[in-house]
Chains A and B, each alone.
Chain A
Amino acid sequence: KAGVTQTPRYLIKTRGQQVTLSCSPISGHRSVSWYQQTPGQGLQFLFEYFSETQRNKGNFPGRFSGRQFSNSRSEMNVSTLELGDSALYLCASSPQGLPNTEAFFGQGTRLTVV
């Protein structure tokens, strides 16, 4: 059974640009969550999608947005990139989402903003 797939694995962008990250969940999983991981703040929740609807949102500015498609694949977009957006962005999928099922993570996309 294939795991969670995130693309691309690495990205280098310039301040002010925008970026789109992609996540393909485990087959049959309908919930996709996104997290940002930095050395200083650790893992922080961005948002969660279930059946193409955003169900939960973390405390990030509106520059961070996402969407989910009918096949459960999800994309995350960051506009007007700042140096502080450099991080490992992780996607997690679960069958029904929390609180009843576990979340399984992808390998992440390493974003560097210069």
Chain B
Amino acid sequence: EDQVTQSPEALRLQEGESSSLNCSYTVSGLRGLFWYRQDPGKGPEFLFTLYSAGEEKEKERLKATLTKKESFLHITAPKPEDSATYLCAVSRVQGAQKLVFGQGTRLTINP
């Protein structure tokens, strides 16, 4: 059974205080690891896809990295508008094609 575990569940930071969110995964034959951002009452917004260990992708204040067992979402000098729930999901090479999601990290950035 594929599993995705995100930590911490919730994180409060001051504006400008950098930190990292963790996503640990167990999947038989990883095809892709996805990061989404979700604001309250809205659908997840696509951020990144990572396909192989060592890969990194950046977008504004966010950088995602991938190892064979986990992914990190680094947030540098965050702003209040970065407050959201960040979701991690995996898909596999073979078998049922679906996204398996973690429970998310609820990030709050205080001004």
Binding site for B on A (CB under 8 A): 4, 6, 33, 35, 42-45, 48, 55-58, 90, 92, 97-100, 102-108, 110
Contact = CB atoms under 8 A, between A and B. Distances in A.
Contacts of A45: 96, 98-100
A107 B42 contact: yes
A24 B85 CA distance: 25
Contacts of A57: 96
Contacts of A43: 44, 87, 89, 99, 101
B107 to A, nearest CB: 16
Interface in B63-104: 87, 89, 91-93, 96-104
11 contacts: A33-B98, A56-B96, A92-B99, A98-B91, A98-B97, A98-B98, A99-B31, A99-B32, A105-B43, A105-B45, A110-B41
Interface string B9-46: 00000000000000000000001101010000111111
Given A48-B98, A56-B97, A102-B34, A90 B43 contact: yes
A107 B43 contact: yes
B49 interface: yes
Contact of B46 (A48, A56, A104): A104
A42 B97 contact: no
A30 to B, nearest CB: 13
Contacts, number: 64
A44 B32 CA distance: 17
Nearest to A104: B46
Contacts of A98: 31-32, 91, 97-99
B31 A42 contact: no
A99 B103 CA distance: 21
The residue in B42, B49, B99, B100 that gathers the most chain A C-beta atoms within 10 A of its C-beta is B99
Nearest to B51: A99
